[in-house]
Amino acid sequence: MKKTHLVLLVLIAAAIVVLISYTGDLSSYETIGSAKQKEGKFVNLIVKMDKSVAFQYDPVKDPNLLQFNVQDSLGGKIAVVYHNTMPTDMEKSERLVLKGKVQGDHFECSAIVMKCPSKYKDNPNTMKEQPVTISN
Amino acid sequence: MNTTKFIGEQLLPGQIGYFLTILTLVASLLATFAFAKAFFSKELTVQSQWNKLAKIAFYIEAVSVFSCFIVLFYIISNHLFEYKYAYMHSDKNLPYQYLLSCFWEGQEGSFLLWSFWHCVLGLFVLARLKKWNNNINGVMMVLNFVQFCLATMVVGLFIFESKLGSSPFLLLREEMNWPILSRPDYLHLIKDGTGLNTLLQNYWMVIHPPILFLGFASTTIPFGFAVVGLIKKEHDWMDRCLPWATFSAGILGLGIMMGAAWAYESLTFGGYWAWDPVENASLVPWLTLVSAIHACIIYRKTGGSLKTTYLFFGISFLLVLYSTFLTRSGILGDTSVHAFTDLGMNAQLLGFLLIFVIPYFALFVVRIKSMITPQKEDEIKSREFWMLVGSLILFLSAVVIIAITSIPVFNKLFGTKIAPPEDAAFAHNQVQVFVAIIIGMLTAIGQFLKFKGTTGDYFKEKIKLPLLISLVASALVYIFVGVLYTEKGIGFTGALYVALFASIFTVVANLFYFISVQKGKLKSAGASIGHIGFGMVLVGILISSSNKTVLSWNTTGISPLRMESNKNPAGNPKENITLFEGIATDMGKYMVTYVKDTFDVLDKRFFELNFKEKGTNHEFLLYPDVLKNNKGMEGFSANPSSKHYWNKDIFVYVTSFQDHSKDDTTKFIPHQMAIGDSIFYSNGIIKLDKVLINPNPNRPAGSNELVLQLSITSKEGLKYQANPSIVLQGMNLQANLDTVKAQNIVLGFNKVVDQKNGVLEIGLKESASLTNLITLKVYEFPFINILWIGIIVMVFGFGIATMNRVKKLRAK
């Protein structure tokens, strides 16, 4: 067996080990209900804002505290605490991906990914509707 | 049938555009066919006949693509909003230079851009490889087939009810079903387009996509060579291919890092790299291409690693296609902040990928047996052995990155719900830091090893001095700069230290090789210079990222209560600090004052921030800005601003601010109080300490002054003073208000209610719009310039290597 083959085997083994160890770090998408069952475990929630409860954010008092409520498609609801600034347009976004863990009665959120009607590019489906700005 | 006559539409450019896209499609198919015929035929006369025809088809195709480019640009720059592309991607207020960015904001335009570069490259191939044998027809066949596939992406034809591609020349009224679009005069009602995404209104976005797409397009040429080699079982193409490959790697690397510079300057994730899927997707082909170049060099020098060369060149191009599929199919959805929107062409994109992947690998497998490499034991003390190890590691690092990036694909295939790990960036960093260590070490020592075995003490002699210098230099860096990042434990911090040494070693050893072995001759020093640049990039990344410090650490706005109960899963992201207009705030080394805001013609709002270094007189101004979002989005997007020093950047961006569009309607509320009394306001307590009578000896004669001394304590325990007063001069009574901006309160001394008991009336107004305030993040990135300079040096190195090889080929 040539030395290069040996090296190749070792390296491929290393890459496989790396990938397998990586799977240990992976998290999962959960519903609010199932996330509550796994209190303290890092999960991803796909939710939208619960507009029936006003969000609380006051940069004068603490720019790093945002509290709001969310609900998911199954009707589960939970309060969210996010220790960071409020993302621009959060209330406008139709879908939020929250990363964090359930702690007691609320969800401690560490990151928010927003899905806006037009986040980076235009969404052709929403653009099919006539914009309000253009009217006869 | 629609028979309405629409007023004011310019239909001609669109019709020309449609015609040109179809012409491109047909011409590229014809060119593919004719080049293939020439390539596969054995008779010289037949070859030259087909070659002539193929060239004509290719020239027509090139002219057609260039014209298409011009027509679309005409539509955008003349604001012909009857076309969907112009309406969706531009508006009338856009500065001229950003009209180009509109061009490649959408998928269709960027496909055209890609196609454009293929044409340019194809013309170069025809011009440069004239004297090469028939195999040039094979390369052109592959190039034209890629062109054909790209042409189907923008043709926008309906074939059996299914859409083939998406045309940039569609009319708005063909695509949208808005009621007004059926009116003949609809064009008068559409005053303006929805504009270019504000984030893309940055000069990097004018230059980054063309360079990146030139990088993508240029990977086709080495791929073409590899296909030809596999078909013909002739492996003599490597010499001719190498300059194309080094050119491609240089341009692709430059394009990727221009994207990083854009992210650094205009996105607010606080850095230049975030392991975002879109970034990864463009990095991975670069890594494999660099591996391929090294494998190719090994084959040329020793005849080894032939299969590896074929595999890596093939995979580099296939990964470009895979990246295209990932970023354009919308499959990344939830995991990426900046992928293209799904245009409903997923099947077509997948087809584009598979039509190259399957035949290439099939051909590769069939040919494996015919690829004979020398059957001799590898020499450990040889350059090729360690070069191969290095390129394998680089390749496997690419495999790991793309595997992680492909999780959404995996979810789609198997219906799983796997999400990225808690700290996705760290998951990458903890692997790649070891790649950096090994690659750094190999790049350093590799130069001092010789092909086919190094004899005697040559290696030991030569490596001694660079090693010593690197050790000293690293020690100095450890002492004076250090690695501040300790969040992930001793193991990772240790790895960062080792990686820092390895990358310094790379720079020093290659510099040493350049000076002492190559005697400073630039001509043949492409590799050493490229490696020096690569080492600098690693040093820059390691130092700037591991020593990134947060200056806006918020110590003011936190109440002690919440600190205790705060078990934040994300560590402590209290990196935002609130600044009040005109009030200096303590930020570590600096006192920072938010001076004022200004607007430019585009309604971009600039915040003027004054940074004053404590203890010195050094001060500077920074202007982070926010721009109102377009495209139907409310709110604003923020652009960072940074102060560049030779050894660090102060990087700041606004995370929120107050919008003063509403009038102040709050009123003063009267409160009666005596000395020693306290009243509450929404955020704390106000105490009347003293009443001073005529404290100012220089007051105008005959006037009397009453000054209140109020102490204000906020809930957070911050203390402020306010001194509202009244001045009585003759019959004139004047009240002087005092404001505490930081608490949003205005205090006035209304009147004396009861002189005997000392009861006074003060007015209190609380108003949110009293002061301007902004919330921002401030970072310090030390030595980030090493990264940017490293990129330039590396690209320069690739450039020299390319030129040198072209010259050598010409001399033959």
pLDDT at B138 over 90: yes
Pairing of strands B759-766, B577-580: unpaired
Nearest CA to B726 among B745, B703, B710? B703
CA dist B612 and B620 (Å) reads: 7
Residues B396, A19: C-beta atoms closer than 8 Å: no
B216, B318 contact by CB (below 8 A): no
DSSP single-letter state for residue B198: G
pLDDT at position B336 is: 61
Joined together, the tokens standing for residue B682 give: 């929404």
Asked if residue A127 is part of any domain, the answer here is: no
Better-predicted residue by pLDDT, B71 or B557: B71
Q: Which has the minimum average pLDDT: A48-57, B275-284, B387-396?
A: A48-57
Residue A64 lies in a domain: yes
A61 touches chain B (CB under 8 A): yes
Contacts of residue B766, Cβ cutoff 8 Å, sequence gap at least 6: B666, B681, B682, B744, B745
* Mean pLDDT computed over A64-88: 86
User: B656 and A99 in contact by Cβ < 8 A?
Assistant: no
User: In the structure encoding, which two tokens stand for residue B50, read together?
Assistant: 């087909």
CB pairs A-B closer than 8 Å: 200
Q: Is the ipTM of this complex over 0.95?
A: no
Find tokens 């300490």 and name the residue.
B689
Q: Residue A32 is part of a domain; what is its CATH number?
A: 2.40.50.140
Whether the per-residue pLDDT at A82 is higher than 50: the answer is: yes
Tell how far CA B273 is from the center of its chain.
7
For residue B559, pLDDT beyond 70: no
- Quick one: pLDDT at residue B557? 46
Label residue B341 by pLDDT band (50, 70, 90): low
**How far is residue B578's CA from residue B580's CA, in Å, rounded to a whole number?**
7
pLDDT at B330: 74
Residue B35 clears pLDDT 90, i.e. is over it: yes
pLDDT of residue A134 exceeding 60, the answer is no
Of residues B269 and B782, more confidence is placed in B782
Predicted pLDDT at B220: 97
- What is the mean pLDDT of the segment spanning B298-322? 93
Nearest CA to B410 out of A22, A42, A13 is that of A22
Q: Is the dihedral of CA B85, B89, B93, B96 positive or negative?
A: negative
Mean pLDDT taken over chain B: 85
- The greatest distance separating any two alpha carbons of chain A, rounded to the nearest whole angstrom, comes to 79
DSSP summary character for residue B200 = G
Conformation bin of residue B632: beta by default, left when phi > 0, alpha when psi is -120 to 50: left
Domain total of chain A: 1
B111-120, B325-334, B437-446, B462-471, range with the lowest pLDDT: B325-334
Q: Is residue A73 situated within a structural domain? A: yes
- All residues at 6 or more sequence positions from B768 whose CB lies less than 8 Å from its CB, including other chains: A60, B658, B744
Looking at residue B602, its pLDDT comes to 66
Give the model's pLDDT for residue B365. 95
A20 within domain boundaries? no
Grouping H, G, I as helix, E, B as strand and the rest as coil, residue B652 is strand
Q: Token match 């509450």: residue?
A: B680
Of A29-33, B470-474, B704-708, B728-732, the least confident? B728-732
Residue B115 tokens, joined: 């196609």
pLDDT of residue B5: 78
What's the confidence (pLDDT) of residue B739? 78
The C-alpha atoms of residue B315 and residue B291 are separated, in whole angstroms, by: 10
Chain A residues 26-55 with a CB less than 8 Å from chain B: 26-30, 42-44, 46
**Least trusted range by pLDDT, from A95-104, B193-202, B754-763:** B193-202
pLDDT the model gives residue B334: 61
Q: Which residues contact B692 (CB under 8 A, 6 or more apart)?
A: B706, B707, B708, B709
pLDDT for B634-650, tens place per residue?
556 778 888 888 888 88
Instruction: Encode pLDDT of B255-281 as tens digits.
Output: 999 999 988 887 766 678 888 888 899
Q: Is the pLDDT of residue B555 over 70?
A: no
Whole-model pTM: value is 0.84
**Nearest C-alpha in B relative to A26:** B421
Residue B629: pLDDT band (50, 70, 90) is: low
**Is A76 domain-assigned?**
yes
Identify the burial level of B131 via C-beta atoms within 10 angstroms of its C-beta, where 0-12 means exposed, 13-18 middle and 19 or more buried. exposed
Contact list, A49 vs chain B (CB under 8 Å): none
State the pLDDT at residue B632.
52
Indicate whether A3 belongs to any domain. no
**Which has more pLDDT, B200 or B10?**
B10
In this predicted structure, what is the pLDDT of residue B242?
94
Q: Mutation target for B interface from A30, A64, A115: give the one with most B CBs within 10 A.
A: A64
B737-752 pLDDT per residue, tens: 887 767 778 888 888 8
Once rounded to an integer, what is the mean pLDDT over residues B609-630? 85
Task: Supply angle C-alpha B598, B599, B600, rounded to 5.
Answer: 130
Higher per-residue confidence, B340 vs B598: B598
Taking residues B712-718, what's their average pLDDT?
A: 81
Q: Under an 8 A CB cutoff, do B573 and A84 touch?
A: yes
Q: What is the mean pLDDT of residues B688-714?
A: 83
| Both structure tokens of B235 | 């492996």
Residue A124 lies in a domain: no
Pairwise CB contact (< 8 Å): B632 & A117: yes
Q: Mutate which of B178, B198, B630 to test chain A, going by most A C-beta atoms within 10 A?
A: B178
Asked which of B70-79, B258-267, B430-439 is least confident by mean pLDDT, the reply is B258-267
Using alpha carbons only, give the angle B347, B350, B352 rounded to the nearest 5 degrees. 110
Residue in A7, A83, A121 closest to B573 by CB? A83
pLDDT at position B426: 87
A20 — contact with chain B (CB < 8 Å)?
A: no
pLDDT of residue B570: 32
Q: Give which of A61, A95, A108 to mutate to test B binding, by max B Cβ within 10 Å.
A: A61
For position B572, what pLDDT does the model report?
46
Alpha carbons B118 and B573: distance in angstroms, whole number: 46
pLDDT over 50 (residue B558): no
Strands B641-644 and B625-628: unpaired
Residues of chain B above pLDDT 70, percent: 92
Rounded to a whole number, what is the distance in Å from the CA of A6 to chain B's nearest CA?
11
The reply to whether A69 falls in a domain is yes
Q: How many whole angstroms separate alpha carbon B341 and alpha carbon B455?
A: 58
What torsion do the CA atoms of B191, B197, B198, B203 make, to the nearest 10 degrees?
A: -110
Closest CA to B10 of B69, B79, B65: B79
- Residue B296: which of B285, B305, B288, B287 has the closest Cα? B305
What's the confidence (pLDDT) of residue B537?
Answer: 96
Q: If pLDDT is split at 50, 70 and 90, which confidence band does B768 have?
A: low
Q: pLDDT category, B562, cuts 50, 70, 90?
A: very low
Of the residues B346, B576, B581, B636, the best mutation for testing chain A's interface (the one with the most A CB atoms within 10 Å of its CB) is B576
* pLDDT category of residue B288 using cuts at 50, 70 and 90: very high
Q: Which domain holds residue A88?
A: 28-119
- Bigger pLDDT: B88 or B258? B258
Question: Taking a C-beta distance cutoff of 8 angstroms, is the pair B662, B776 a contact?
Answer: no
d(CA B43, CA B628): 66
Res. B337 pLDDT band, cuts 50 70 90? low
Q: How far is A47 from chain B (nearest CA, A)?
A: 12
Judging contacts by C-beta atoms under 8 Å, the chain B residues touching residue A84 are 570, 573, 575-576
Confidence class of residue A85 from pLDDT cuts 50, 70 and 90?
Answer: confident
